[in-house]
Chain A
Amino acid sequence: MASNRDWTWFYRLGSPRWFYETTGRWLPWLWALTLVLLVAGLVWGLGYAPQDAKQGNSFRIIYLHVPVSFLALAGYYLMAIAGAIGLIWKMKLSYMVMKSAAPIGAVLTFLALFTGAVWGKPTWGTYWVWDARITSMLILLFLYLGVLALQYAFHSQEAGNKASAILALVGTVNIPIIYKSVDWWYTLHQPATIKLTSAPSMHIDMFQPLLVMIVALYSFYALALILFIRAEILQRERKAAWVCDLALRADQGSAGEDKE
């Protein structure tokens, strides 16, 4: 019996209603944490961190670029793991996590590319370089877009879930191979004129705000993911009694506001 009880949290975690209600209680705190960390990190990084000796002020883009790239890559693994859990344990909620992680990851990957390009202009004199890391990021964007496209190509929610979970898993196996081959390809073709400085050892004053921004982005990611999942839950559980209750209460609330 004891071993049975140990697993109840796992199944409760899989219950959309439980997730919706619990995260509802967390949300205000998560909003506050995210906003405070973002504002603190940005003000610190953009205003107080000393400028880089070589790159001057343009290096401040690092406070956006690095955290965003971090989460873009981590997000793919999160999406694939959620998909695998969905395939193995047939858990509804984990498919919702997977489906919600895809658009967030795609936007973050785009932002990583965008901030990298804007950073590249003053540093290397060009917006785009076929550098190994940039190229890998571009491929990651297409992997995300593939999962998104496949998810929405099916009429049945079920088939879309399973298909994109499999694709995400195949992509996960491939990501290390893609990264290694792009790396190798880059050393083969490395142009002599453009030397990309590998991340120099950072001064502690520059590193602290970066750390704050990384934590801020993690918090932001959690917030965005939860918001997407909650919207998804309402859509998929629209026949459930508790969702109907929720909708009616929200409706009466807004109707009352309108009258005032």
Chain B
Amino acid sequence: MKFQFDSVQQMLEMAGHGQYVWTAVLVTLLMMAWLLVRPLQVHRAHLKTIAQQLRREQRRRITQEDNQ
């Protein structure tokens, strides 16, 4: 098994096919990355809103107790 290209330049060009191969690689990796990042973002956002909600309820309960 040997590396097929002699230089970085050659690997980028791939004998004229580089633009196609690298476009496919780039777009695929970007969209796959999005599929991993997106649920993580949603996950964090959910945790945040739930925590905010809980703290708001807690504060309301405390002020109610104070008023009494």
Contacts and interface: CB of A to CB of B under 8 A. Distances in A.
Interface stretch (A11-19, A49-57, A158-166): A49-57
Given A111-B31, A244-B50, A251-B48, A47 B5 contact: yes
Interface residues of A, number: 45
A26 to B, nearest CB: 15
A227 interface: yes
Interface residues of B, number: 35
Interface in B1-49: 1-5, 11, 14-18, 20-21, 23-25, 27-28, 31-32, 34-36, 39-40, 42-43, 46-48
B54 to A, nearest CB: 6
A231 B46 contact: yes
B14 A107 contact: no
A211 B54 CA distance: 48
Secondary structure class of chain A's binding surface, majority of residues: helix
Nearest to A42: B25
Contact of A115 (B11, B17, B28, B55): B28
Contacts of A47: 3-5, 11
Contacts of B54: 244, 247-248
Nearest to B45: A231
Interface of A: 42, 46-51, 56-58, 60-61, 64-65, 68, 100, 103-104, 107, 110-111, 114-115, 118-119, 121-122, 205, 220, 223-224, 227-228, 230-231, 234-235, 238, 243-244, 246-248, 250-251
